[in-house]
């Protein structure tokens, strides 16, 4: 078996206009989603949130992928800033509090890993879902020859498919906003950073 390069193992062909184009001819739109503290809500609020989430899932007539990215939080720079503030302030009480806070965080991080969690909703779109004037032939080509579809993906076609994804994103916005969540589409540079971190977890 010939050696494969890293680029061959990554399924992404391109990222254009905030849309991820995969080598299999399908597209992805990634939405960043905020979090809520479910445990701090009352029982009635928790039930209402679960019911709203259930209605949202039932209303979606397309696949949805939910992703949680957990990474160890590097707090060295943050603690250095806190220490600098403590040293530079003339307020003795503030200096003591800042020093105590810095010591507490250092002890806490030494006992357990402090994780940073980010939440995403990934919306897929397959070109054969909206065959053009060539009808079934276009749909069949997109399934059997995805590389050809990627090569032929003009700005006009990408704009048409992006509109389809935006319609799906609107449904996600409406469904999740009712839960008190904030949702936004990731832009090109954010997508590049996200996928770089996913394929380079130690960075």
Asked whether residue 94 falls in the same domain as residue 181, the answer is: no
Residue 107: which domain range? 74-113
Residue with tokens 């897929």, as numbered in its chain: 124
Q: What is the pLDDT of residue 110?
A: 75
Asked whether residue 78 falls in the same domain as residue 146, the answer is: no
What SS3 state is found at 71?
strand
Asked whether residue 67 falls in the same domain as residue 150, the answer is: yes
Q: Would 106 be classed as within a structural domain?
A: yes
Which residues are CB-contacts of 50 (< 8 A; sequence separation ≥ 6)? none
Q: What is the pLDDT of residue 5?
A: 61
Asked whether residue 90 falls in the same domain as residue 134, the answer is: no
pTM of the model as a whole: 0.74
What pLDDT, in 10s, does the model give residues 42-57?
999 999 999 999 999 9
Q: What is the pLDDT of residue 43?
A: 94
Rg (CA), the chain: 23
Structural domain total, the chain: 2
- The segments of the chain whose pLDDT lies below 50 read 131, 134-137, 139-144
Asked whether residue 67 falls in the same domain as residue 123, the answer is: yes
Asked whether residue 154 falls in the same domain as residue 188, the answer is: yes
Which residues are CB-contacts of 142 (< 8 A; sequence separation ≥ 6)? 25, 126, 127, 128, 131, 149
Q: How many CB atoms lie within 10 A of CB 13?
A: 18
Q: What is the pLDDT of residue 189?
A: 93
Q: What is the pLDDT of residue 183?
A: 94
Asked whether residue 124 falls in the same domain as residue 43, the answer is: yes
Asked whether residue 67 falls in the same domain as residue 127, the answer is: yes
Q: What is the pLDDT of residue 48?
A: 92
Q: What is the pLDDT of residue 2?
A: 57
Q: Would 48 be classed as within a structural domain?
A: yes
Q: Would 1 be classed as within a structural domain?
A: no
């Amino acid at each position: 078996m010939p050696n494969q390069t890293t680029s061959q193992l990554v399924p992404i062909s391109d990222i254009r206009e905030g849309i991820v184009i995969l080598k299999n001819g399908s597209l992805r739109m990634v939405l960043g989603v905020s979090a809520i503290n479910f445990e701090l809500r009352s029982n009635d609020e928790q039930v209402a949130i679960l019911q709203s989430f259930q209605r949202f899932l039932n209303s979606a007539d397309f696949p949805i992928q939910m992703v949680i990215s957990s990474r160890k939080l590097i707090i060295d720079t943050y603690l250095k800033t806190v220490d600098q503030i403590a040293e530079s302030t003339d307020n003795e009480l503030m200096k003591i509090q800042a020093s105590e806070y810095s010591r507490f965080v250092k002890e806490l991080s030494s006992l357990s890993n402090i994780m940073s969690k980010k939440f995403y909703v990934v919306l897929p779109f397959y070109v054969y879902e909206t065959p053009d004037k060539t009808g079934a032939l276009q749909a069949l080509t997109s399934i059997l020859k995805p590389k050809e579809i990627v090569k032929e993906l003009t700005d006009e076609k990408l704009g048409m498919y992006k509109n389809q994804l935006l319609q799906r994103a609107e449904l996600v916005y409406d469904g999740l906003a009712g839960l008190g969540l904030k949702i936004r589409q990731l832009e090109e540079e954010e997508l590049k950073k996200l996928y770089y971190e996913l394929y380079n977890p130690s960075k």
